[in-house]
Amino acid sequence: MSRANASLSLDLDNQWAYLRSLGKKDWPDAPSYLPVVAGRVCALLARHGCGMTVFVVGHDLDSAENRDAVLRLAEAGCEIANHSQNHLPWLDRLDPAELLSEVVEAEDAIAALVGERPVGFRAPGFSWSQELFTLLAERGYRYDASTWPTPVGPLVSRYSQRLADAPAERTQKFGGLRDGFRRLSPYTLSTPAGPLVEVPVTTMPFTRLPIHATYLMHLWQKSASLARVYLKTTFAACRLAGVAPSMLLHPLDLLGGEEAPLLSGFPGMGLGREAKAAALDRLLKTITDRFQVCTIGRQVASLTAAPILASAPGA
């Protein structure tokens, strides 16, 4: 019996984006860790035989070392997708011209680097809007992956605001309470510009608790055995509910706390590099034992029929 396709993705947020979210004035001067992260991602995927979609911020492609890192990921078989030009977690609050610029500038930079235009998009901080969905459909994108169906989004937003020394309008919202009741499986959005497949970042079926790797690291920091049980429960629930998961990683999931001391306040950063590597290996083994793990693009292509919504979420 063939296994269902699950997808794996990485939001390639650089150190400057994290520091800016904290309100640090010197965020533009932060050194890049993308070359280190890219090397670890390639090794991780090779060990487990997985595919991955990497959502890239266009601004980072201004740097030769970052371009080389992204090319290395592409050459390893990763799908390179769009994560906006400047990683603004208030993307849903931009005017139409600013929104267009955020999508198109990154799109152009990615196409110039890897030789093909991205077909997938994820908004920073899950800051989606119907205007964004329509724009993506207009520009020929195949899918969006910006929704996060969990009711804990407002709590995460409050935690983020406590960390940050930044205006409230410039902090991440992580969705509202009603977002916790959106679909977990991919579905087709109907926009004024045509259809667009939505691939939610999976949360645990039935409970809607977060399951992406950052939360695993936070739990692993408290109890590795509890984290392992949480993983097994998550994927058992996915199979029971008929949900082929779309799992999300971030660069900090591949970096030990000792390697990024300026980011010590983020979840899971109390773990060292070796502990995080062990946690990621456990995550990948657990999911690959149960699903065929591929890029989001391939997961979308494998869908033969998706329920069609009358309008985009939030309309």
Lowest mean pLDDT among 111-120, 145-154, 201-210, 242-251: 145-154
Band (109; pLDDT cuts 50, 70, 90): very high
Q: What are the phi and psi torsion angles at 205 (to 5°)? A: -55, 145
- One-letter amino acid at 261 equals P
Band (277; pLDDT cuts 50, 70, 90): very high
Domains of the chain, start order? 5-305 (3.20.20.370)
Band (176; pLDDT cuts 50, 70, 90): low
Q: What are the phi and psi torsion angles at 5 (to 5°)? A: -80, 130
Res 158: pLDDT: 53
For 24-47, the pLDDT digits (tens) are 999 999 999 999 999 999 999 999
Mean pLDDT across the chain, nearest whole number? Answer: 91
Residue 161 has pLDDT above 60, yes or no: no
Over residues 299-305, mean pLDDT: 80
Band (175; pLDDT cuts 50, 70, 90): low
10, β-bridge pairs = 54, 249
Query: Which pTM value belongs to this model?
Result: 0.92
Q: Cβ neighbours of residue 143 under 8 Å, at least 6 residues apart? A: 119, 120, 121, 186, 196, 197, 198, 199, 296, 297, 300
Give the Cα separation of 178 and 176 in Å (integer): 6
